[in-house]
Amino acid sequence: MKMIIGGKWLDKSAKIDVLNPFDDSLVDTVPEGSAEDVKKAITKAEKGYEINKNLPAHKRISILKRCAEIMQDRFEDLAITIASEGSKTISEARKEVGRAINTITISAEEARRINGETIPFDSAVGSENRMGYYYRFPIGIIAAITPFNDPLNLVAHKVGPAIAGGNSVVVKPATVTPLSALKLAECLLDAGLPGEIISVVTGHGREIGEALVTDPRIRMVSFTGGVEAGEIVSHLAGLKKIGMELGSNSPVIVLNDANLDNAVESCVSGSFWAVGQNCIGVQRIYIENDLYTEFRDRFVQRTLKYKTGFQLNEDTDMGPMITKAEAIRVIEWVDEAVKMGAKTLCGGTRKGSLVQPTVMENMPVGAKLDCQEIFGPVVSLYPIDSLESAVEKSNSVNYGLHAAIFTSNLNSAHYAIRNLDAGSVIINDSTDYRIDLMPFGGVKNSGLGREGIKYALQEMTEPKVVCFNL
């Protein structure tokens, strides 16, 4: 595919191969963009901002609604694209397409709800004859930098609210999964979006990332990725808004009074969805002592039923890691933990980019698997004496995106809600639960600000005060 600069398809002689991570077969090629391409895209986006901020809300709404309809018409093609360039199974990819359609639909709905309110100026002495209000206006050009693990829906989460709010947007998709972003932009253009409003620049982050983030014409950087990259972006960005989602090491607490069937099934799914390459995936499970052995045995039995393999096969439960190098890293972390005293209950092996779903116990404090984000199909089980101890251990890492608890006791649930350091606390489901209209984000190293269309719109617009002196 070609990349998109100001709504126009652009090819270049320098190419990047988009490979299927299962066998490194060629899926497609995209242009290798440069800093100069980024500058051209931002120049186009300046015009796009002037166009979009002056579009009536009903026009933005109709474009976004039409885009969702086109995505529905192209549903299977989008799913195959997600699964071919990335790690998700075809079943997981179809769910992502459904979510992305929902994200664009909600963006259309929220475009009619960018509300202001009246201000009681006469509440201040001397302002008795004043009245007024505020309304929200778009901030300008949004830079959207997106990762590989949700190559369609995470782009939609940035592009949808940016357009709904009257901004223009320049997308830098993950180098390994650019096709889904290009196809979403194509849907928007086919829906009638004026071309200058959107660009998708493909290329290596080291070549085009700095040019995008540092350009003073960019008014907000919306970034999803790792902590190290996030720190670099924040240092480079300068005086502009920043929204970041930087991952997690998500804890789940399972108490003795939990529904065991639900806890096991939910946590297995939450651990291994999208090969564990999931910012809200389950990584640590704290199980109360009396339930530990039974939970562990049933969890391992359920994990052993997972079928790994080619992600486009309908019966595959878990596909490959995004690259062989990432698969090697995951096994290195497992091996490190074992050398430190951890025990592998199942998995812990790889073939090429395929890593078997891995369950660990006796995880020592300080191992990477204990305190960092694995972003792979590895989960660790820990026995705990009490809810208080489980909460303390859950909070011991420098992340706080999602946390979860399984219990039938309302007081226990509320203790967890009050005391877990996380942007969301999920009760009787795993951390891997999200709907696209909720505020989404975390504390500590898990990021800055919140996504979720309504909340992203707040970040992508600003209040303007209007005051009449009568």
Task: Return the HEC string of 245-257.
Answer: ECCCCEEEEECCC
Q: What gap in Å lies between CA 311 and CA 287, rounded to an integer?
A: 32
3-class SS at 22?
coil
Is the Cα dihedral 404, 249, 228, 32 positive or negative? negative
Q: Which residues contact 157 (CB under 8 A, 6 or more apart)?
A: 103, 436, 451, 452, 453, 456
| Token pair 């946590």: residue | 267
Beta pairing, strands 130-138 & 141-145:
unpaired
Q: Which amino acid is at 400?
A: G
Q: Which amino acid is at 72?
A: Q
Percentage helix, strand, coil for the chain under 3-state DSSP, each rounded to 5: 40, 25, 35
Catalytic residue among 186, 279, 288, 451: 279
Residue 108 CA to its chain's centroid (Å) = 20
Axis crossing angle, helix 90-110 with helix 57-73, rounded to the nearest 10: 160
Is the Cα dihedral 207, 208, 212, 215 positive or negative? positive
CB 283 within 8 A of CB 251: yes
CB 308 within 8 A of CB 357: yes
Q: Does the active-site annotation cover 109?
A: no
Catalytic residue among 92, 110, 196, 245: 245
Instruction: Locate 57 and state its tokens.
Output: 């809300």
Is the Cα dihedral 439, 440, 446, 447 positive or negative? negative
Q: Which amino acid is at 373?
A: E
The region that residue 391 occupies, defined by phi over 0 for left and psi between -120 and 50 for alpha, beta otherwise, is alpha
Instruction: Locate 257 and state its tokens.
Output: 């009074």
Q: Which amino acid is at 424?
A: S
Q: Does the active-site annotation cover 388?
A: no
**Per-residue b/e over 68-103, b at no fewer than 16 CB within 10 Å?**
bebbeebeeebbbbbbbbbbbbbebbbbbbbbbbbb
Q: Which amino acid is at 172?
A: K
Q: Which amino acid is at 209?
A: G
Of 449, 407, 451, nearest in space to 425 by CA:
407
| Token pair 């299977």: residue | 76
CB 242 within 8 A of CB 450: no
Catalytic residue positions, numbered:
245, 279
